[in-house]
Amino acid sequence: MFVIIGYVFMCACILGAYAVHGGELHVLWQPAEIVIIFGGGIGGLVAGFGGKPLNATIKALPSLFKGSRYSKAFYMDLFALMFELLSKVRKEGLMSIEADVEDPHSSAVFSKYEKIAHDHHVVEFICDYLRLMVGGNLNAFEIENLMDVEIDTHHHESEMPASVMAKLADGLPAFGIVAAVMGVVHTMGSLHLPPAQLGELIGAALVGTFTGIWLAYGFIGPLASSLEFKAGEGTQVFQTVKVTLLASLNGYAPQVAVEFGRKALNSTERPSFKELEDHVKSAKAK
């Protein structure tokens, strides 16, 4: 939503100011130069990145026009789920959650928290490390190292779309210059035309530079920044689960373990101690 608002505001300011000073908007519409700029940029991406990064970018772009999944309500449900699982472990032993982690989709505990159950990456992360805890063959230090490796790998993979869009944004101004130079070449071959027509050709050539810069910094660059931010949001979920599980593995009670996890959140998503306590109690009572 904010992407669209930002685009509309930007276009209104840039094109509006241009029109107010007497500029003719139709002059800025140069389809051939847009083909040169985008065609060159996308062709460079295909050559430089190949299929996997481009597929990941295409899949990630629709998420930019939706709100964040990782809200305060999401984290409160996550902590309620973790609290319930860890409480079950504390009362009945690690083997009591074996069925839950082996088949979370059929688990009565996981099914209570739809926001979490629909995020298969988070569910897999939780179940994988609870399964290792049930096995009992790894100590807290080894599990923490393994978590760090997986989180780093996930973060690198989730940042790939942002890197692709950033490279595209970096290349568009250069292809805008290419379009402008080609326009100038075309103009130099038309010097026999009247000055008015030559002026139109020169103006059209300069539009290539303007278009490349505008598309890069006004449209594609912000998408890259937004994708990078979303990658960081996804990584924070894993960090929160990691802190909570390690606190439990080191002997802390479930109430204290989820408090460790709460402290790992940004202030914008972090519930208060009282909010989390009340939510965990109400969720467990259902």
- State residue 250's pLDDT score: 87
Is a pLDDT exceeding 80 seen at residue 192?
no
**With contact defined as beta carbons under 8 Å apart, do 12 and 138 qualify?**
no
Q: What is the mean pLDDT of residues 176-182?
A: 89
Q: What is the mean pLDDT of residues 64-90?
A: 89
Q: What is the mean pLDDT of residues 18-44?
A: 87
Q: Which residue has the higher pLDDT, 40 or 277?
A: 40
- Residue 274 binned pLDDT confidence (cut-offs 50, 70, 90): confident
Q: What is the mean pLDDT of residues 223-242?
A: 92
Q: Which residue has the higher pLDDT, 147 or 23?
A: 147
Class of residue 105 by CB neighbours under 10 A (exposed 0-12, middle 13-18, buried 19+): exposed
Compute how many other C-beta atoms are within 10 angstroms of the C-beta atom of residue 284.
14
- State residue 79's pLDDT score: 93
- State residue 66's pLDDT score: 81
Is a pLDDT exceeding 90 seen at residue 239?
yes
- State residue 136's pLDDT score: 67
The ranges assigned to domains in the chain are 32-62+69-286
Structure tokens at 284: 């467990």
HSE-CB at 62 with a 13 A cutoff on CA atoms is 4
- State residue 284's pLDDT score: 66
* Beta carbons within 8 Å of 252's beta carbon, 6+ residues apart: 260
Average pLDDT, the chain: 88
Q: Which residue has the higher pLDDT, 126 or 68?
A: 126
- State residue 25's pLDDT score: 83
